[in-house]
Amino acid sequence: MSEYAIYNNRRFRAVYNDGKVFLTSKKEEEGFELHSFISGFETINTYEKTVSEKEVDAVFYEEIFIRYLLNDYCLFYSPRYEDFIKDNSIRILTTNSELAHTYNFNRSEPGVYYKDILINEIDTIIIKRTPVGINTSSDLCSDAIITKDNVKDYLYGIHEEWKR
């Protein structure tokens, strides 16, 4: 699950806390401050801005579910894990041991199972959005369904979004 905000008609990764929204971008944005930190041997730059809840159009949590073989699974992704598409496939997760055994999932840790599947094997993507804070319009963060014909474009679109 990731948290986002709509600010100036754009979607940003965000954290909501006590009436303030902390926005983050990987590219330079007007009014955002550069923050650098070292992760291993790499310097990571992010641009951040804090705004009041009243300055954003929406803040919401977003969960992405992959419908594969008539069951719904979590998409393994994170804005920090940008490269979640490899060889035209993605990783799905489940905590259901019976489903994991039935469909030959691998165990990653106790109670968590994963499987890499080809994008063209996905039936549908279900996006669940939960409004956060008092200023969020529910129509800006409504749930969505991505049909099989649009799955590839959607996944590659969020892949590009997380690189920015």
- Per-residue model confidence as pLDDT tens digits over 15-59: 999 999 999 988 889 999 999 888 778 787 889 999 999 999 899
Q: Which two tokens stand for residue 48?
A: 């951040």
Distance of alpha carbon 2 from alpha carbon 12, whole angstroms: 11
pLDDT above 90 for 74: yes
DSSP-assigned beta bridge partners for residue 15: 22
Say whether both 92 and 142 belong to one domain: yes
39 shares a domain with 104: no
Q: Quote the radius of gyration of the chain (alpha carbons, Å).
A: 17
Range of the domain at 28: 2-59
2-16, 101-115, 124-138: which has the minimum mean pLDDT? Answer: 124-138
* Last residue in a domain, options 59, 84, 100: 59
88 lies in the same domain as 148: yes
- 75 and 97 together in one domain: yes
Q: What is the mean pLDDT of residues 59-82?
A: 85
Q: 53 and 129: one domain?
A: no
> What pLDDT is recorded for position 162?
67
Task: Dump pLDDT digits (tens) for 122-161.
Answer: 999 999 999 987 766 667 778 899 999 999 999 988 877 7
| Statement to judge: residues 37 and 85 lie in one domain | no
* pTM of structure: 0.80
26 and 52 fall within a common domain: yes
85 and 157 together in one domain: yes
Instruction: Tell me how far apart the alpha carbons of residues 156 and 83 are, in angstroms, rounded to a whole number.
Output: 10
Residue showing tokens 């719904």: 72
Asked whether residue 55 falls in the same domain as residue 68, the answer is no
In terms of domains, do 125 and 111 share one? yes
Helix (H) or strand (E) run with residue 70 in it:
none
Among 43, 59, 75, the domain-final residue is 59
Total number of domains constituting the chain: 2
Examine the fold and report which residue of 59, 81, 102 is the final residue of a domain before the chain moves on: 59
Cβ atoms 99, 22 nearer than 8 A: no
